Amino acid sequence: MHGTGTSVTPAPAGREIFKLVDESRSEMWKINEKFIRNQCEVSKTFYFSHDPNNINIIIAGSYYDMEIEFIRNFVKEKYGKSAKFVRYDQYWKLEW
């Protein structure tokens, strides 16, 4: 997932942060969730490398699954509508 002007922590940096939080998935998710919330609060454009609408490719409980679920809930709570993910070139884009 990528936000315009920002991106989710690259894998090598993410691994270093994971070590800093004693390899705790819950602590790592707190960091990721805060980043995503901050980007959502300012309506950043998000692009996804995999189709968020295809439940057959999303592993339950994965960070990707949690990210999609967080964004869906955020859009529902803030705007009272469902998040819409549309195909955009080779990516999928969140439409606010």
pLDDT digit string, tens, across residues 27-71: 889 988 999 999 999 999 999 999 999 999 999 999 999 999 999
What rounded mean pLDDT belongs to the chain?
Answer: 86
Q: Are 36 and 78 in contact (CB under 8 A)?
A: no
pTM score: 0.79
Give 49's DSSP letter.
S
Residue 5 pLDDT > 50: no
| Residues of the domain holding 26 | 2-95
Looking at the structure of the chain, the number of domains it has is 1
Count CB atoms within 10 A of the CB of residue 26.
7
**How far is the C-alpha of 21 from the C-alpha of 38, rounded, in Å?**
20
- Report pLDDT for 21: 81
